[in-house]
Structure 1
Amino acid sequence: REAAATAVGEMGSEAKELIPQLQQLFSDENWSVREAAATAVGEMGSEAKELIPQLQQLFSDENWSVREAAATAVGNLGSETKQLIPQLQQLLSDEYSFIRQAAAIAVIQIGKLNTQQILPILNAAHKSSYEEAVLRFIAYFVSGGEPNAVTLIQWLGSPEEYPYENNKFDDTRKEGKKVLKLFAEIGQATETLDDLRPELERQIAQVVDRVKWDEIQKLLKQLESNNPDATDAEKQAFVTACIPPNNRQRFVGALQAGGKEALKELLDNPYVNVGVAIVEGWQNPN
């Protein structure tokens, strides 16, 4: 049966009439037969596209050789299998490097991906130091160099250096808002990506910490002028209270990263209430 499946594959598209028989081999008890059947489908090209659902089922086969053959076959079918991108992305986290490589190559063969779709590739870059450079290149290649994708690749996916480490990050407020907006857009899509999610959270903290937020600088100068003896904790409390509600949670999260001791100083701090009144007056031109 294995030899028969191999022969069908070698015949290519000319063996189209044998597809019903080939389909039966996908459930064969022998893993080598299932592997040969998957390989044959890939070699037959678009003539065998009706067997794409069967290839998808083989992605979860217990045998790693079968999973690798299925991923390779999907790649050979190209754009015909674009609906299987989510399943291929899952294979990028397979325990076997051969399968991860086959899935990555298949993604390239299928065609261009959007910003959300390259996230699993960047997540997979964390799995092995030997593969991260290749996977990061694949993420760039399949994105077509789209600006938002390039920004994500600079910040995520275990790069050798992050933008703030090689002085390539423009720490102006405009650039900071741009990066944070992009991070917000992909936030939900990273919830199931076990390596990328914590990396994203770290990068958000880095941007918030490094950007020169003009409004906050003005508030701190005002506070220092009116209250020259204010402690750092009091300054933090003041700024937190003055931020617009829709932005406040982001800064509260940054303050929480300071630990319990920092939070103790902030609780019941009189500058919170006083600060709100001061800023309301400062914002009033009269």
Structure 2
Amino acid sequence: MLKHLHQITKRCLRRATPTPFFLFPFILLLTLFLALAGVSAKESPKPKPEAWQINGIVAAFDDGYDNVKKLAFEKFNKYDLKNLKSVIYKPEDIAQKVAKILKDKSVDSTLRSGAAVALENLGETAKPYVKDILDFLKDKSLDSTPRYDAAVALGNLGETAKPYVKDILDILKNKSIDSDVRKGAAEGLGNLGKAAKPYVKDILDILKDKTIDSDVRYDAAVALANLGEIAKPYIKDILDFLKDKSVDSYVRSRAAERLGNLGEAAKPYIKDILDFLKDKTVDPDIRSHAAEGLGNLGGAVKPYIKDILDILKDKTVDPDVSRGTAGGLTNLGEAAKPYAKDILDFLKDKTVDPYVRKDAAYALANLGETAKPYLKDILDFLKDKSVDPHARSVAAYELANLGEATKPYLKDMLDILKDKTVDFTVRRGAAEALRNLGEAAKPCVKDILDFLKDKTVEDSLRLGAAYELANLGETAKPYVKDILDFLKDKTVNLFVRRGAAEGLVNLGKAAKPYVKDILDFLKDKTIDDSLRSRAAAGLWNIEQFNLNNLVVILDSIYYAGKSEFAQWRFLTYFLGGGTDEVKTLLTWLGFPETKTIPAQLSHEQGDKTLKIFAQAWEASQDFARLRQDLAKQIAVVARKVSWKPQDILILETHYKNLKNAGYSEADSLQSVIVNLKGQ
């Protein structure tokens, strides 16, 4: 999804004519979103989880609230779960627990689709439950969105889903099924790889069938493209589909862009694609997307780069096609190396469309070290105020791809960032370039912090600076305290402070020395709850919490609004590592779902619970609402168990604690103790 949004942003920036109140805010928000998520055209690999993180997530699967489970699945699905080691639960047990939620028709359908995606993430371990994912997908009583997610998840299982490929294909063919679900089935088929080989002809038939919804036909084209070498015999059919003017032009343009997924398999047809680009009877938008798809073929296009450049040089070519062709150049990487000088000429030529020049800058940036001699030219383009600011902002953003190579120009980028006469989208791009420099940006971290604190700067730019600072990881470590002070400043726009809070997440273990400072920030209940919950996310990747730290998170549940409640409960499971102690506390504390509270307890369970409560009592002395609830639950548990004489010690400990703190629940403990002594 992030990759898709990145492409949308590029396309909007490429084609847009400036419109101050509609397009620009939309583009800005997308650009900010992508920059904050730290993505480029290539998605980052999933991180490997630590044992305590998975244990905490899996423990949350048993919570009584669906929204807590949803958060657990969201977090679970962000990790690479292959070769899980040193966890409390075996992968097979995790799969069984997840499958149970998937099959439970009494729970929310989006929660069940999250379970389907979780099974996909478990890979081969999920094999016994593939049929259950398929059953969920076929259930017409459910909304289309979760069924779409299940279809994609099924496809991502690859060979594991092989016995059910025909079933997925049948869904795709079934015209009575919601088109979104069929789109998911098509996408799933495209991800199956060799497992889908026997059915390529069937997918092609769907592509050719004009009675089928055009969106579904598009997804059939995408499925074929994603199958790469397997689809080689049918590439000509995909090209024919692109030429078919009876098909919606938007659908054809989207399919055209996916040509790049074919890789080496498309090599024999590159000449046809080039001819397609030159065919002026074809809608320019479709040709533009085909040009981008051509660029995604990488090295296979190398013999035809000169032809692509000739299209760019031809000023009679429709501007959309030129821009798409330039956009295609950006993805060629090393293959475009011999033509760096030609690309530079486009960048310098002021008679060329500014968005073509922007993509020329992008193409140069993607050449890495090869582009080093041309960095000054990219910066000159960036500084040229006669060029459309949107084009310059993207050129600035793309400088980030060059990393260390931009180090000699650190001061130039910092000057752009500080210059209030420069369009702020350009300054935002310069800030993004600084972010990607990592350790090399160390000399200007203080400048970025000062920029963040400058209240005369636009809020959106300060928001960006907050993320740049946090995303510098270890380099920003000495300034974590400053970021926290910034969060506390109530004169700063809440939106900007939330951005800075979320940025703490990217600091990871670099924030470890500041755990106490973050916890102190969380304790301040006068601060907006949504801001506190975002700051808490900065604790995700640091370490498993002991009880003394965990009570800060647990206590926050009592102050949470409806939208943050589930997060605080989930975060308690997660940071606590899902231990028995954590599960016991959340069984009774933090407003558990009533139906999950035990009606009765065995002696062993009661003894264990009161001992855990005794530890929590010591840790909770600074948290009034948590301690009040704990006092109540101590009395409740004391009344649910048949105690034995040897339990008097733990019961008296709780009685004294409650009595000394002035809680009336001490009377319940006293009554239990008196009865026990009288036996």
- The TM-score bracket by the shorter chain reads 0.5 to 0.7
Which one of 250, 262, 270 corresponds to residue 655 of structure 2? Answer: 250
Q: TM-score, normalised by structure 1?
A: 0.67
The corresponding residue for 1:21 is 447
- d(CA) in 2 for partners of 1:179 and 1:245? 11
- Whether 2:616 is the aligned partner of 1:183: answer no
Partner of 1:117: helix, strand, or coil?
helix
Task: Please say which structure displays the higher CA radius of gyration.
Answer: 2
Structure 1 position 70 matched with structure 2 position 503? no
Please name the residue that 1:229 is paired with.
none
| Matched position secondary structure for 1:131 | helix
- 1:132 matched to 2:565? The reply is yes
Q: Which amino acid aligns with 2:433?
A: E
Q: CA deviation at 1:97?
A: 4.3
Structure 1 vs Structure 2 CA RMSD: 3.9
Which residue of 548, 558, 568 corresponds with 1:116? 548
Q: TM-score, normalised by structure 2?
A: 0.31
Aligned to 1:198: 628
TM-superposed CA distance for 1:252, in Å, is 9.8
1:75-114 counterparts in 2 under 5 A?
A: 75-89=505-519, 90-91=521-522, 93=525, 95-114=527-546
1:161, distance to aligned residue in structure 2 (A):
2.3
Name 2:478's counterpart in structure 1: 50
In 2, Cα distance between the equivalents of 1:253 and 1:15?
55
CA distance in 1, matches of 2:611, 2:445: 49
* CA–CA separation in structure 2 for the residues paired with 1:215 and 1:248: 14
Q: Give the 3 Å change call, closer, same or farther, for CA 94–39 of structure 1 in structure 2.
A: farther
Q: Residues 256-275 of structure 1 correspond to what in structure 2 (within 5 A)?
A: 257=664
List alignment gaps of at least 5 residues for structure 2: 1-417
Q: How does 1:159-238 map to 2 (within 5 A)?
A: 159-161=592-594, 165-167=597-599, 170-172=601-603, 174-215=604-645
Aligned to 1:187, the other structure's residue is in SS state: helix
Change in Cα spacing, 1:5 to 1:61, as seen in structure 2 (3 Å) is farther
Tell me, in whole angstroms, the C-alpha distance in 2 between the residues paired with 1:41 and 1:73.
8
Choose 130-139 or 3-12, whichever is displaced more: 3-12
Q: Give the superposition deviation at 1:250.
A: 0.9
Residues 79/178 of structure 1: CA separation in 2 closer, same or farther (3 Å cut): same
Cα distance change, pair 248–50 in 1 and its aligned pair in 2 (3 A): closer
Quote how far apart the aligned CAs of 1:29 are: 3.5
**CA-CA distance at 1:103 after TM superposition:** 2.0
Q: 1:5 to 1:42 in 2, by over 3 A?
A: farther
Shift of 1:118: 2.3
Report the Cα offset of residue 248 of structure 1: 7.0
2:434 is matched with which residue? Answer: 11
Change (3 A) 1:246 1:104: closer
Mapped partners of 2:545, 2:605: distance in 1: 25
Offset at residue 83 of structure 1 (A): 3.0
Structure 1 runs not aligned, ≥5 long: 218-242, 267-271
Q: Alignment length, in residue pairs?
A: 239
SS in 2 for 1:68: helix
Amino acid across the alignment from 1:257: S
CA deviation profile, 1:215-249 (whole Å, cap 9, x unmatched): 399xxxxxxxxxxxxxxxxxxxxxxxxx6699277
Deviation at 1:99, TM superposition (A): 1.0
Quick one: percent identity of the two aligned structures? 25
Q: Return the offset for 1:195.
A: 2.4
SS at match of 1:211: coil
Q: Return the offset for 1:41.
A: 0.6
